[in-house]
Chain A
Amino acid sequence: DGGITQSPKYLFRKEGQNVTLSCEQNLNHDAMYWYRQDPGQGLRLIYYSQIVNDFQKGDIAEGYSVSREKKESFPLTVTSAQKNPTAFYLCASSIGWTTEAFFGQGTRLTVV
């Protein structure tokens, strides 16, 4: 079955450590997105990619980094520079802006 997979579902890290969240899709979609969700803030765009080896900053990119070495994969690294990293992170993919975006089940990151 085609879909988009995020792992792990829950992640705990100590403050000051970098952590990488995985996002894989087998839908052959060109576009991939990372969103952060906090209570009352909706879905805020961190980074997005339209094609392999290319990505753009979203609205809250500071403290995050991404790579797009393969079409299927778009990992997000939360660096120690991110001041408030505890949040629910959602990855999505789509063919383009005219089509439905498919979301993964999310990763809940807790930094202590």
Chain B
Amino acid sequence: QQPVQSPQAVILREGEDAVINCSSSKALYSVHWYRQKHGEAPVFLMILLKGGEQKGHEKISASFNEKKQQSSLYLTASQLSYSGTYFCGTSSGGSNYKLTFGKGTLLTVNP
């Protein structure tokens, strides 16, 4: 079952912030975040493992709340290059390597 992402789409002006949410009905052991430009392969942003950690780079970070089975991706001071579709992928861990992705959030950053 696919994790649920929200919002489905967001439009920003350069320099604005955005939050993309990902939630699952199943217990999570890891959450992956990827960005895909049109017609290209998804590119890895970060992975969060069970433990409620927050990680990321200076302008793109993420949190993981395994009790709520949710993760959020934070984009601050957005740049034009941030435009694309963002996907979260989730895994229930253990001996099962199944990795399931959401429907994506289309982010458009305008000048």
- Point out residues on A near B: beta carbons under 8 Å: 30-31, 33, 35, 40-45, 48, 50, 56, 58-59, 90, 92, 94, 96-106
Q: How far is the CA of A101 from the CA of B11 in the complex (A)?
A: 28
Q: How far is the CA of A99 from the CA of B29 in the complex (A)?
A: 12
Q: Chain A residues near B101 (CB, 8 Å)?
A: 35, 42-45
Tell me if B60 counts as interface (CB < 8 A to partner A): no
In the complex, the chain B residue whose C-beta lies closest to that of A57 is B98
The 6 closest A-B pairs by CB, nearest first: A42-B103, A97-B91, A43-B101, A103-B41, A31-B97, A100-B44
Q: How far is the CA of A30 from the CA of B99 in the complex (A)?
A: 14
Tell me if B87 counts as interface (CB < 8 A to partner A): yes
Tell me if B84 counts as interface (CB < 8 A to partner A): no
Q: How far is the CA of A96 from the CA of B2 in the complex (A)?
A: 19
Determine whether the beta carbon of A43 is less than 8 Å from that of B98: no
Determine whether the beta carbon of A100 is less than 8 Å from that of B99: no
Determine whether the beta carbon of B87 is less than 8 Å from that of A59: no
Q: Chain A residues near B44 (CB, 8 Å)?
A: 100-102
Tell me if B27 counts as interface (CB < 8 A to partner A): no
Per-residue contact bits, chain B 37-79, to A (CB 8 Å; 1 contact, 0 not): 0001111100101000000000000000000000000000000
In the complex, the chain A residue whose C-beta lies closest to that of B50 is A98
Determine whether the beta carbon of A48 is less than 8 Å from that of B98: yes
Determine whether the beta carbon of B1 is less than 8 Å from that of A59: yes
Q: Chain A residues near B5 (CB, 8 Å)?
A: 42
Q: What distance in Å separates the Cβ of B103 from its nearest Cβ neighbour in chain A?
A: 4
Determine whether the beta carbon of A101 is less than 8 Å from that of B89: yes
Q: How far is the CA of A103 from the CA of B39 in the complex (A)?
A: 13
Q: In the complex, which of the residues A35, A97, A100, A105 contacts B97, with contact meaning CB atoms closer than 8 Å?
A: A97
Determine whether the beta carbon of A42 is less than 8 Å from that of B2: yes
**A–B Cβ pairs within 8 angstroms, 8 of them:** A31-B99, A33-B99, A43-B87, A50-B96, A90-B42, A94-B97, A97-B29, A97-B30
